[in-house]
Amino acid sequence: MNQIVGFTTTIPVEVVFAGGYVPCDLNNIFIVDENPLRFIERAERDGFPKSMCNWVKGIYGVVMEKNISRVITVMEGDCSNTQALAEILRYKGIQTIPFSYPYDRDREVLKREIEKLIDHLSVDKAKLSPVEERIEKVRTNLALIDRMTWDEKVVTGHENHLWLVRSSDMLGDYERYEDMSKDFIDSIKERNRIQGVSIGYIGVPPIVTDLYDFIESVGANVVYNETQRQFALPYFEKDIVERYLMYTYPYGIFSRLIDINEEIERRSIQGIIHYVQAFCFRAIEDVILRETLKVPVITIEGDLPKKLDTRTKLRIEAFVEMLREKGNGEN
């Protein structure tokens, strides 16, 4: 258990692996649990307010319930709640290691942050390069899975989501994740092309549990998962600092917009689902996204790790129908 290093969002995971630790994305542990509500309930029992993002409560609950003793907290570039979360974790006796992505994308500042992380975890720098080389193979497989989603169209939006979102910790074992991804690629080559309206999904990963299945059930498929793809770092820069500078998610809406617009074009996306989490400050970004994206946008909100509510289902169905009627329905 001591080898586990939890974290609150994507961090340079190469460093954690090179230190001989097992990285653990607390978001993923929370959401794949058979009963994720128990983590939220734990947080609320400990005094977290009802009117607060449930991802934050889920992360806290996972740390407490799973006895995770060390957590990298991303103080800048992710969530406005992380400072308070880090403080309560420290108060509860958890070792917290701060990491920040500089908002202005300053190379020197990011380099210093990565070096601080290396020092915190006492990583032998000589071990970093071999790990990076091996992880690049995993990232290459993930990029291929992503391509097979929008180009060959043999990967579903849900599968794409899972492969990319899990890349933040590679399930704690990057060699196994490489083997798993290779097996998956081999297993889907003979599949038939998926038909339907091509949807892009932007925003933080969904807390609701059946979004992708529902989208498929109304004749559409997600061919782009913005944030999840960013977690997979589809940037094959040799230098670790460069790689995490290319990563758009921590550097604000304008760096994200460039990426989103490029992918809308490249993937022939017909409409965008913008997911916002209840009580998340990022919901404000919806204003800019709606005014700048070149295709229709629907904004949906999730709160708890439960199935979609009927109203949201109806709205998605009507949105897909509208896109289909716009004339480009199948491709």
CB 8 within 8 A of CB 24: no
CB 234 within 8 A of CB 306: no
Q: How far does Cα 46 stand from its chain's mean position?
A: 27
User: Which residue stretch of 11-19, 52-60, 169-177, 218-226 sits at the interface with ligand SF4 (rule: CB under 6 A)?
Assistant: 52-60
Identify the residue among 148, 204, 208, 233 touching ligand SF4 (CB under 6 A).
204
State which residue, 172 or 250, has the beta carbon closest to ligand SF4: 250
Q: Which of 13, 24, 40, 56 binds ligand SF4 (CB under 6 A)?
A: 56
Q: Which of residues 66-85 bind ligand SF4 (CB under 6 A)?
A: 78-79, 81
The verdict on 62 binding ligand SF4 (CB under 6 A) reads no
* Smallest separation, CB 225 to ligand SF4 (Å): 15
Instruction: With beta carbons less than 8 A apart as the criterion, state whether 253 and 186 touch.
Output: no
Helix (H, G, I), strand (E, B) or coil at 100: strand
Tokens of 299: 């904004």
Q: Could you tell me which of 93, 74, 85, 90 has the C-alpha nearest to residue 47? A: 85
- Report, in Å, the least distance between residue 33 CB and ligand SF4: 17
d(CA 238, CA 158): 30
Angle at 174 (CA atoms; ends 170, 177), nearest 5 degrees: 70
Considering beta carbons, is residue 82 or 160 the nearer one to ligand SF4?
A: 82
Residue 40 touches ligand SF4, criterion: CB under 6 A: no
Q: Could you say whether residue 43 binds ligand SF4 (CB under 6 A)? A: no
Binding flag, residue 86, ligand SF4 (CB under 6 A): no
Q: Which residues contact 281 (CB under 8 A, 6 or more apart)?
A: 79, 80
The answer for residues whose C-beta is within 8 angstroms of residue 57's C-beta and 6 or more apart is 39, 40, 43, 44, 48
Q: Which stretch binds ligand SF4 (CB under 6 A): 111-119, 224-232, 249-257, 275-283?
A: 275-283
Min separation Cβ 107 and ligand SF4, Å? 24
Nearer to ligand SF4, 79 or 215 (CB): 79
Binder of ligand SF4 out of 11, 13, 31, 53 (CB under 6 A): 53
Q: Which stretch binds ligand SF4 (CB under 6 A): 51-59, 100-108, 150-158, 223-231?
A: 51-59
Q: Does 280 bind ligand SF4 (CB under 6 A)?
A: yes
- Rounded Cα distance between 222 and 276, Å, is 17
Write the CB contacts of 193 (distance below 8 Å, at least 6 apart in sequence): 152, 153, 154
C-beta separation of 145 from 184 below 8 A: yes
From the CB of 299, what's the least distance to ligand SF4, in Å? Answer: 14
C-beta of 18: minimal distance to ligand SF4 in Å?
27
282 binds ligand SF4 (CB under 6 A): yes
Binding stretches for ligand SF4 (CB under 6 A): 53, 55-56, 78-79, 81, 204, 277, 280, 282
